[in-house]
Amino acid sequence: MTALHLWLRHEVRATERRTPVVPDDARRLVEAGVRLSVEDSPQRVFPIREYEAVGARIAPAGSWTSAPADAVVLGLKELPYQPGELTHRHVFFGHAYKRQPGAAALLRRFAAGGGALLDLEYLVDDDGRRLAAFGYWAGYLGAALAVLQHRGTLTAPLRPTGKDELDATLRQAPDHDEEFTALVVGALGRSGRGARAAFATAGVDPSCWDLAQTRDLDRPALLAHDVMVNCVLATTPVPPFVREQDLDDPDRRLRTLSDVTCDVGSPLNVLPVYDRTTEWADPVRRLRKEPPLDLIAIDNLPSLLPRESSVDFSAALTPQLLDFGAGGAWGRCLARFHEASREHGLEPGRFGAEGESRRV
């Protein structure tokens, strides 16, 4: 069987500093016989020389479009709009299976080129648990930014930092700081654990809700908190947690809403009160002026702690890359891609679900 050829691409989003494979794990891949090509990327938190030092072949940014046909292109966030036909197997967070805006267009690009999407969100074990995720750090940053915004100390534009520096900021409450109530929804998952840890660092003891509390939602109790962090990753439609009419509830105490999940535009969105995410340059949007309600909805939060989040993610992903093949978790990824393609009336390309000649 031909050795795996991984092609680590440059991220086109200017604020994306993370990488799915860090240099220490790149060494493991190369030593295991994986052919590793790494695109130059000045914004990546790890410099390209560290990949070259462990035996990776260096390629120009964006050159994955002309990579060998058998290469597996590895990234994190969205692809550039061109080429219109995607011929390779791509591993990244596609956000294309919940009917999000742009989902159909992305799947059509794969259908046109005969390639395949192996979505990292659906890289799961036999019990459906994610095998590699940034959730903890997303929750940590979502809660940290909510604390700083509610205290009036969040400054824009946001910039990448390290955990020690961020934690020192969280511990430094302003002199006029008053105690406030906070709520983490989805508190038992990865993101929820991260949010709880950030609140603890800031000296805040949040209310923690999970399935038991959201199954029969006490919306007045939700709105009675000053700060809410949403960490729920819905897989089936559920009644929204906060509705448009709730924003005008005269009893609303909620002032800061941080949406870690960012399912905006999807029918699975549990916070259908905004229509676009916020950005590093302008991280907060005011949804209501009086009483004020501020929204934070950044869809690449872990990139604000790029080194820590990349190291953790890479440690979880590397064993899966070393076991890359037609069955198991990667086979489930491919099957989910085929299912999503059929839902849009598209035919799978040359990377089929079965057969030795149609391997993952």
Q: What is the pLDDT of residues 183-195, one digit of tens each?
A: 999 999 999 999 9
Helix 135-151 and helix 190-201: axis angle, to 10°? Answer: 40
Is 260 found in the same domain as 180? yes
Is 289 found in the same domain as 182? yes
- What local confidence, expressed as pLDDT, does residue 359 receive? 40
CA dihedral 79, 83, 85, 86 (to 10 degrees): -40
Pull the structure tokens for residue 121. 């969100």
Q: What are the distances in angstroms from CA 9 to CA 6, 35, 136, 168?
A: 9, 14, 24, 34
Is 251 found in the same domain as 341? no
Last residue of a domain, one of 272, 287, 304: 304
Is 191 found in the same domain as 53? no
Pull the structure tokens for residue 35. 């052919």
Return mean pLDDT, the chain. 94
Residue numbers annotated as active site: 77, 95
- What local confidence, expressed as pLDDT, does residue 352 receive? 62
Distance CA 276, CA 101 (A): 11
Find the mean pLDDT for residues 197-206. Answer: 98
- What local confidence, expressed as pLDDT, does residue 274 receive? 97
Q: What is the pLDDT of residues 14-58, one digit of tens each?
A: 999 999 999 999 999 999 999 999 999 999 999 999 999 999 999
Is 104 found in the same domain as 195? no
Is 292 found in the same domain as 216? yes
The closest alpha carbon to 115, from 78, 82, 74, 85, belongs to 85
Is 76 found in the same domain as 64? yes
Number of domains in the chain: 2
Is 320 found in the same domain as 210? no
Q: What is the pLDDT of residues 87-98, one digit of tens each?
A: 999 999 999 998
pLDDT score of 353 more than 90: no
Higher pLDDT, 152 or 356: 152
Last residue of a domain, one of 270, 287, 304: 304
Higher pLDDT, 234 or 229: 229
Beta bridge pairs of residue 228: 183, 257
Is 225 found in the same domain as 86? no
With 0-12 CB in 10 A as exposed, 13-18 as middle and 19+ as buried, what is 108?
Answer: middle
The closest alpha carbon to 99, from 315, 325, 232, 266, belongs to 266
CATH number where 166 lies: 3.40.50.720
- What local confidence, expressed as pLDDT, does residue 146 receive? 98
Structural domain containing residue 245:
135-304
Is 201 found in the same domain as 63? no
Is 112 found in the same domain as 204? no
Q: What is the pLDDT of residues 122-175, one digit of tens each?
A: 999 999 999 999 999 999 999 999 999 999 999 999 999 999 999 999 999 887
Find the mean pLDDT for residues 46-72. Answer: 98
The runs of H, that is alpha helices, within the chain are 23-31, 48-53, 103-113, 135-151, 163-171, 190-201, 211-215, 219-223, 306-322, 328-343
Is 173 found in the same domain as 31? no
pLDDT score of 355 more than 50: no
